[in-house]
Structure 1
Amino acid sequence: MELLQRLKTETRPHHERTEGVVRLMDADLTPAGYQRQLEAFHGLYAPLEALLAAPLTALEPALDWEARWKTPLLEADLRAMGHDTASLARLPRASSLPALPGLAEALGCAYVLEGSTLGGQLILRHLARHFGADARVGTFAFFRAYGDQVGPMWRAFGEALTRASARAASESFDAAVVQGARDTFDTFAAWLKREHDVPVRL
């Protein structure tokens, strides 16, 4: 089975649990609730992207990871909502992160982050309708990541993942990619549950 399809199949329960604690599609979502969700995302993306930076350099220059980091976009959104450098630094950050000892696990983690950008297009459309012209929610920079290049960026990631798998030619490499993705989904679910006190069935 091609690795991307295997990832989708073998991480489905973990993905579904994570979706269950993301409150952005709620009909009663308020600007304050939206801000809390972005603050929670920031608390996970900032340390996670810092952890990913070193192992993913192995795929440069094929993939421009600097252009894929979401922490700056989250910070732009939060600044639009009233945060400044000092208050951003005080936001809680996750300390329990997935183990990413090598490229395979890092690719599994990146699969989750890149996939969330792809899936975020549905959330963006909902938020734009839900909040309308409410200036308190800013410009949705995080969910507008990549602009009209979301599809090409996802395909480029998929191609890089497939090439890395082919070079490794190892079942243990592919299994480690899948485990990295599972662990990342579970980290998201646990962190969002902690931040929002939403029950998660693990």
Structure 2
Amino acid sequence: MLSPEPRTLLQILKAETRPHHERAERVVRLVSPDLTLSGYRRHLEALHGLYAPLEASLAARLEGLYPELRLAERWKLPLLEEDLRALGHEDASLARLPRPARLPSLPGVPEALGTLYVLEGATLGGQLLLRHLTRHFEGISAGGFAFFRAYGEAVGPMWKAFGEALLRACPDPSLAPRVVRGAQDTFDTFEVWLREVHW
């Protein structure tokens, strides 16, 4: 009898983070039929509070180490700021937005890769939210949804490229639990923060 193929790191991450992912998804209310423009804006403000420190931490851990990750193309903070400016923010008010007291601990590269997995997965999943938001706010000046549009038509290829780069950056199977912990911690941070700030 043939032994099963070993799971890839992406398969391990998907399986081991599923409950954390589901709990985080449950506090996202962007598909609510009674979503208001101010509710949408508050959600983007909450994401800004997370992405600003998370992306800074990821840059400190990963930038320059793995060119194949194409980090400069993956930062979402400028897109969030574009959306928030369209909804009335300016530099001073963006700088005052609250940030969570607790962020994922990123003691090393594997944990940072786990955090990046969550952020890139959110970009992939954001395509469903984009379709909903463009319908929901049709005829209303809600900005260009830059954060959810992210890579445009290249969302699929960028996810595939991330998966390949992840395996090259972390080829040692013994490091998989650390990558998983980084991802789980990031999902949990999203869940706790969105519960704190939700309208």
TM-score range, shorter chain: over 0.9
Deviation at 1:66, TM superposition (A): 1.3
Match of 1:142 among 138, 147, 153: 147
Counterpart residue number, 1:10: 16
Q: Is the 8 A contact 1:58 1:103 kept in 2?
A: no
Report the TM-score when normalising by structure 1: 0.93
> Which residues of 2 match residues 20-31 of structure 1 at below 5 A?
20-31=26-37
For residues 56 and 150 of structure 1, the distance between their equivalents in structure 2, rounded to whole angstroms, comes to 21
Task: Give the aligned partner of residue 180 of structure 1.
Answer: 182
Asked whether the equivalents of residues 66 and 169 of structure 2 are also in contact (C-alpha less than 8 Å), the reply is no
- Alignment RMSD: 1.1
Task: State the 4+ residue runs in structure 1 displaced beyond 4 angstroms.
Answer: none
Query: Which blocks of at least 5 consecutive residues in structure 1 are unaligned?
Result: 198-202
The answer as to whether partners of 2:117 and 2:183 remain within 8 angstroms in 1 is yes
Q: Tell me how many residue pairs correspond in the alignment.
A: 193
2:74 is aligned to 68
* Deviation for aligned residue 1:49: 0.5
CA distance in 2, matches of 1:58, 1:180: 20
Which range moved further: 13-22 or 157-166? 157-166
Query: In the alignment, what sits opposite 2:136?
Result: 130
Alignment partner for residue 156 of structure 1, among 157, 161, 178?
Answer: 161
- TM-fit CA distance, 1:59: 4.1
* Correspondence for 1:200: none
Question: Structure 2 regions of 5+ residues with no counterpart?
Answer: 1-6
Shift, 1:58, TM fit: 5.1
In structure 2, give the amino acid aligned to 1:25: V
Deviations 1:131-187 (A, max 9, x none): 11211x100000000111101110111001112232xx241x110000000000000
Contact 1:118 1:154 in 2 (8 A): yes
User: Where do residues 183-202 of structure 1 align in structure 2 (5 Å cutoff)?
Assistant: 183-196=185-198
Instruction: Tell me the secondary structure at the aligned position of residue 32 of structure 2.
Output: coil
Out of 96, 100, 111, the position equivalent to 2:117 is: 111
Give yes or no for contact 1:112–1:181 (8 Å, CA) kept in 2.
yes
Letter in 2 for 1:99: S
